[in-house]
A and B are shown apart, each in its own frame.
Chain A
Amino acid sequence: MYVELKNINKNFGDFQASKDVSFGIEKGRLVALLGPSGSGKTTILRMIAGLEKPTSGDIIIDGRRVNDLSPSDRGIGFVFQSYALFRYMTVYDNVAFGLEILKTPKNQIRERVNELLALTDLKGLEDRYPNQLSGGQRQRVAFARALAPNPSLLLLDEPFAAIDAKVRQELRSWLREMIYKVGITSIFVTHDQDEAVEVADQIIVTNKGQIEQIGTPTEIYKTPQTPFVSQFIGQGTVIEDYYRLRGFEKGNYKGAIIRPEFVEAFKNDNDRFADVVGISEKGTITDILFRGNSLEVRLDVEGVQLVTHRSLERRPIEIGEVMNVIIYRVYAFDDERAYLLENEELKKKDVNNVHLESYLYSNEGYFVV
């Protein structure tokens, strides 16, 4: 493990911002700390950086316990949420600052700064001041400034928060590529699951100062282990009496999360679903919302309110229409954990998902559906 946190606790007065946080990160990984606002992500990042002292626990970077090392001795680079570029320094001076502090000879500074400006595509902007740059350019300057002294761990706090939604998409892939190009172990904080899934190769989910789950984006998405993760990831709705749905039995659970993609609603005459019509149940469309690239369909099934998405390519539907509905699976949960429950009848029928699933994850409905 390149970075390791062992039983970290952090108190601000009476308030506990980190509760027994432990995790390890391998060298070269790009890790996301994902959680809702106020869940303690920034606090963890700042403790790794040395900007906050943990109340108890150890922080280990590259085999060394760094608790008592100052930030500048930890070999880290930090990109602040609002970048904190020095407003009275040019782009060049911002990037050169850390090297000047290290008393690097002038010509080497020039060389390194030019190299970084080329890498971050900022050539020609050396003499600009931060307020003469776009949001994306500022992010790149902050990135270059953090990398200048050659850190071996890069920490980024909400690196996309200060950027317009439009360019954010672009910058995500840019940052991902850039980090792999530089080959630096990186941890970034985000509250946006799309961002985490898209950029990171490992996700640490935080909630109320605790770590909920650690895993690859797919693991987090497909096998949420806690009630919190099953609700936080995806657009699931919580349903208490899920056992009223066909194919599910009452167990020792408090409720279940059903994501839209777990629900299939099809018309009676749809050939594709001919062999499963028998195990479907009736659901009435109560509302249809246009979501740009798809429809969000709300259904009433046996008094249970469900949500599913429907491709615009499929046949039109209307409010009040009765559909056949199959629920593939749900995440049931108790107080502690989340459990994946498959539709029993579907399982018995042995059509198990194979074609439904391939249907589901294809571009949906070809033409006749």
Chain B
Amino acid sequence: MSKRIIPGFHLTLGITITMLSLLILIPLASVLVYSLRIGPAQFFKVVTDATVVAAFGTSIIFSFIAAVINTVFGVILAWVLVRYEFPGKRILDGLVELPFALPTAVAGITLSKMYSTTGELGAPLAKLGIYVSYTHLGLTVALIFIGIPFVVRAIQPVLEKFNPAYEEAAYILGADRRVTFQRVILPELGPAMLTGFGLAFARGIGEYGSVIYIAGNSAKEHTQVVSYIIMQKLNYLDYGSATAIALVMLIISFLLLLFINIVQVYQSRRTSGVYEVASQTTGDALPQPQAGRYVMIAVSVAFVLLMLVMPLLSIIRNSLSKGFAFYLSSLDTQYVKSAFAVTLIATVLTLIVNTFFGLVAAWVMTRFQFKGKQVLATLIDIPFSISPVIAGLSFIMMFGRLGWAFPILEKINDTFGTDIQIVFALPGVVLATIFVTFPFVSREIIPVLNSIGTDEEEAAALMGAKGLTIFRRVTLPHIKWALIYGMILCTARALGEFGAVNALSKTRGVTFTLPLEIDALYLAGDSDSIVAAFAVSSILVIIAVFVLVLRNFFEHSEKQKMAGA
């Protein structure tokens, strides 16, 4: 390998691997180690238990169904967003991202309420004999909600770069719209569809916050999902079973990640070298049946209204259902204030750590070639595809009473006379939040850094600029918007993290975050508490909408900059 011109390889690689190991891999390995400790016989007994098998069945089957539905609507939505111009298109584009920005617990209670027999949609449906909340149908609806952006965002860029000449070539050779779609467009979209499907599927299998309220969690009805079972075992302090089930889940996630990676390798085998940028729009003489176009737009708008906008409005309506005074008073409690403070601390710390990691990791992943890069990329992405509950479990198995690091922690406390607590204390909440949002910033920066190439940095390095100067003066201006967007997304997710924190935080008013407070209020069950839950949720909704607007703004200004260049 030639000498690297761009500085910082060893340093950034070192930091990346160290942070990845400390924050993700070692905690995850703790789960593995503990689950192996219980012995094969016990392990086998746990994972073949009827309830557990049923939960795996439920999670897999309904995640699969939801992912299939999302793939169909994802293609339609992506197509409409890329190919058609119509008023409100940018709003539609922004709304697709809502499930990324909305806390899962908020989505969960909202969908559950909306589809209950007294809810906005549940009531009319119940009259027709269709029950959604606490059934498999409800579970599927929640999984569709959280999965849709994965598919749309996987397909959209491919479609944007899709050269219209392919369609025209087929059309000149006599192919009609159907044949062109089947034989020319679909193969091009195939890998992106599979990637989106895989991501939505993986996310669905591990999903916790958005499904537990609506799924019913009944062993008899087979509406328990795997994350719920793990959480239940944790609550019974049955760590052996929890880790055994988590291990199986990890293996499934890993296989799915592997599948996605293979798909992407296959895709680059066919497309590398014949990559081309769409240079023009399709000709006006190509048949574009107006009717088909309106149907597509209508379907997309209806889907987004029903699946994404209705829940949003429902939150606002519910939160104000007892008047504005009640709304304000329910925000003004000791619990909410404490939760707000905890959430804020966790979010700020997470943002600092993950932004630092994101920049360093993006630098090493895009500026250097080295052995094992692909493996490293996959490892960094792990938090995307595993259940947040497992993230929480990991820290319990590391720092908890049974964890291997617990004696070390005790020793430190003994020696220094300190009282550092991690599990069920603020540090645990912070660590869990960092874990689940770990790749958010790097994921936004990496594609931008890849697309701008290394020429400018090499030029600066040859002129003698030092690493930090190069980064500040040459690189940073290019990635500014991507960085800001990654940070915003990271903030939104950190504010809303539920599953992981839920496993690690037990004391309301002390270590509860806003989503946990919402959970506590909602589960209290009386009508005042439920309205209060929605009131607290509405704060997170406002933040989510704010995030969407910012995203839209940044993306737009980015596109304008590109168009000007």
Chain A residues with a Cβ under 8 A of chain B? 46, 49-53, 70-72, 76-78, 80-82, 84-89, 97-98, 101-102, 129-131, 138, 145, 148-149
Q: Are B187 and A88 in contact (CB under 8 A)?
A: yes
Alpha-carbon distance between A87 and B170 when the two chains are bound, in angstroms: 13
B295 at the interface (CB under 8 A from A): no
**Which residues does chain A contribute within 8 Å of B183, judged by CB atoms?**
86, 89, 97
Q: Are A78 and B172 in contact (CB under 8 A)?
A: yes
Residue of B nearest to A43 (CB): B283
Q: Which of B163, B270, B279 has the most CB of A within 10 A?
A: B270
* Distance from A55 Cβ to chain B, minimum over Cβ atoms (Å): 10
Q: Are B166 and A86 in contact (CB under 8 A)?
A: yes
Q: Are A131 and B171 in contact (CB under 8 A)?
A: no
Q: Are B172 and A131 in contact (CB under 8 A)?
A: no
Q: Are B173 and A101 in contact (CB under 8 A)?
A: yes
Q: Are B173 and A52 in contact (CB under 8 A)?
A: no
- Known contacts: A80-B165, A86-B166, A87-B271. The answer to whether A149 contacts B173 by CB under 8 A is yes
**Which residues does chain A contribute within 8 Å of B163, judged by CB atoms?**
82, 84
B414 at the interface (CB under 8 A from A): no
Q: Are B270 and A101 in contact (CB under 8 A)?
A: no
Q: Are B166 and A84 in contact (CB under 8 A)?
A: yes
**Which residues does chain A contribute within 8 Å of B282, judged by CB atoms?**
51
* Distance from A246 Cβ to chain B, minimum over Cβ atoms (Å): 50
B377 at the interface (CB under 8 A from A): no
* Distance from B1 Cβ to chain A, minimum over Cβ atoms (Å): 26
- Known contacts: A97-B170, A131-B273. The answer to whether A52 contacts B175 by CB under 8 A is no
Q: Which of B172, B283, B285, B287 has the most CB of A within 10 A?
A: B172
**Which residues does chain B contribute within 8 Å of A88, judged by CB atoms?**
187-188, 190, 270
Alpha-carbon distance between A87 and B187 when the two chains are bound, in angstroms: 9
- Known contacts: A50-B285, A51-B286, A149-B174. The answer to whether A87 contacts B168 by CB under 8 A is no
Chain B residues with a Cβ under 8 A of chain A? 163, 165-166, 168-175, 179, 183-184, 187-188, 190, 269-274, 276, 279, 282-287
**Which residues does chain B contribute within 8 Å of A53, judged by CB atoms?**
284-285
Which residue in B171, B172, B188 is a CB contact (below 8 Å) of A87?
B188
**Which residues does chain B contribute within 8 Å of A131, judged by CB atoms?**
269-274
**Which residues does chain B contribute within 8 Å of A70, judged by CB atoms?**
171, 285, 287
Alpha-carbon distance between A72 and B170 when the two chains are bound, in angstroms: 9
Q: Are A72 and B284 in contact (CB under 8 A)?
A: no
* Distance from B449 Cβ to chain A, minimum over Cβ atoms (Å): 24
**Which residues does chain B contribute within 8 Å of A97, judged by CB atoms?**
170, 173, 175, 183
* Distance from A16 Cβ to chain B, minimum over Cβ atoms (Å): 15
Q: Are B284 and A52 in contact (CB under 8 A)?
A: yes
**Which residues does chain B contribute within 8 Å of A138, judged by CB atoms?**
274
Q: Which of A53, A97, A138 has the most CB of B within 10 A?
A: A97
- Known contacts: A84-B163, A131-B272. The answer to whether A101 contacts B179 by CB under 8 A is yes
Which residue in B168, B190, B272 is a CB contact (below 8 Å) of A84?
B168
Residue of A nearest to B274 (CB): A131
- Known contacts: A82-B165, A84-B166, A87-B271. The answer to whether A101 contacts B175 by CB under 8 A is yes
* Distance from B277 Cβ to chain A, minimum over Cβ atoms (Å): 9
Residue of B nearest to A78 (CB): B172
**Which residues does chain B contribute within 8 Å of A102, judged by CB atoms?**
174
* Distance from A128 Cβ to chain B, minimum over Cβ atoms (Å): 11
**Which residues does chain A contribute within 8 Å of B184, judged by CB atoms?**
86
> Other than the known A97-B183, A101-B179, A145-B169, what 4 A-B pairs have Cβ atoms closer than 8 Å?
A71-B285, A88-B187, A98-B174, A149-B174
Q: Are A80 and B169 in contact (CB under 8 A)?
A: yes
Q: Are A72 and B174 in contact (CB under 8 A)?
A: yes
Residue of B nearest to A71 (CB): B172
Alpha-carbon distance between A149 and B174 when the two chains are bound, in angstroms: 10
- Known contacts: A84-B163, A88-B188. The answer to whether A101 contacts B174 by CB under 8 A is yes
**Which residues does chain B contribute within 8 Å of A87, judged by CB atoms?**
187-188, 270-271, 274
Q: Which of B168, B173, B175 has the most CB of A within 10 A?
A: B173
- Known contacts: A86-B184, A101-B174. The answer to whether A129 contacts B169 by CB under 8 A is no
Alpha-carbon distance between A147 and B170 when the two chains are bound, in angstroms: 13
Alpha-carbon distance between A50 and B284 when the two chains are bound, in angstroms: 9
Offer 6 A-B interface pairs, CB within 8 angstroms, sorted by A.
Answer: A46-B283, A49-B172, A51-B286, A71-B285, A101-B174, A101-B179
Alpha-carbon distance between A129 and B163 when the two chains are bound, in angstroms: 18
**Which residues does chain B contribute within 8 Å of A85, judged by CB atoms?**
274
* Distance from B172 Cβ to chain A, minimum over Cβ atoms (Å): 4
Q: Are A76 and B172 in contact (CB under 8 A)?
A: yes
**Which residues does chain B contribute within 8 Å of A145, judged by CB atoms?**
169, 173
- Known contacts: A82-B163, A101-B175, A149-B174. The answer to whether A51 contacts B168 by CB under 8 A is yes
* Distance from A346 Cβ to chain B, minimum over Cβ atoms (Å): 49
Q: Are B168 and A80 in contact (CB under 8 A)?
A: yes
Residue of A nearest to B180 (CB): A101
* Distance from A29 Cβ to chain B, minimum over Cβ atoms (Å): 21
- Known contacts: A82-B165, A101-B174. The answer to whether A52 contacts B283 by CB under 8 A is yes
Alpha-carbon distance between A223 and B245 when the two chains are bound, in angstroms: 85
Which residue in B174, B190, B283 is a CB contact (below 8 Å) of A51?
B283
- Known contacts: A52-B283, A131-B274. The answer to whether A86 contacts B175 by CB under 8 A is no
Q: Are B270 and A51 in contact (CB under 8 A)?
A: no
Q: Are B169 and A86 in contact (CB under 8 A)?
A: yes
Q: Are B283 and A82 in contact (CB under 8 A)?
A: no
**Which residues does chain B contribute within 8 Å of A129, judged by CB atoms?**
270
**Which residues does chain B contribute within 8 Å of A46, judged by CB atoms?**
283
* Distance from A85 Cβ to chain B, minimum over Cβ atoms (Å): 7
**Which residues does chain B contribute within 8 Å of A49, judged by CB atoms?**
172
Q: Are B173 and A130 in contact (CB under 8 A)?
A: no
Alpha-carbon distance between A89 and B166 when the two chains are bound, in angstroms: 12
* Distance from A286 Cβ to chain B, minimum over Cβ atoms (Å): 35
**Which residues does chain A contribute within 8 Å of B274, judged by CB atoms?**
85, 87, 130-131, 138
**Which residues does chain B contribute within 8 Å of A52, judged by CB atoms?**
283-285
Alpha-carbon distance between A71 and B284 when the two chains are bound, in angstroms: 12
Alpha-carbon distance between A51 and B172 when the two chains are bound, in angstroms: 8
Alpha-carbon distance between A86 and B190 when the two chains are bound, in angstroms: 14
Alpha-carbon distance between A208 and B287 when the two chains are bound, in angstroms: 28
* Distance from A320 Cβ to chain B, minimum over Cβ atoms (Å): 39
* Distance from B274 Cβ to chain A, minimum over Cβ atoms (Å): 4
Alpha-carbon distance between A88 and B282 when the two chains are bound, in angstroms: 21
* Distance from B245 Cβ to chain A, minimum over Cβ atoms (Å): 40
Residue of A nearest to B191 (CB): A88
**Which residues does chain A contribute within 8 Å of B187, judged by CB atoms?**
86-89
Alpha-carbon distance between A148 and B271 when the two chains are bound, in angstroms: 24
Alpha-carbon distance between A72 and B287 when the two chains are bound, in angstroms: 12
Alpha-carbon distance between A71 and B175 when the two chains are bound, in angstroms: 10
**Which residues does chain A contribute within 8 Å of B166, judged by CB atoms?**
84, 86
- Known contacts: A80-B165, A87-B274. The answer to whether A72 contacts B172 by CB under 8 A is yes
* Distance from B272 Cβ to chain A, minimum over Cβ atoms (Å): 6
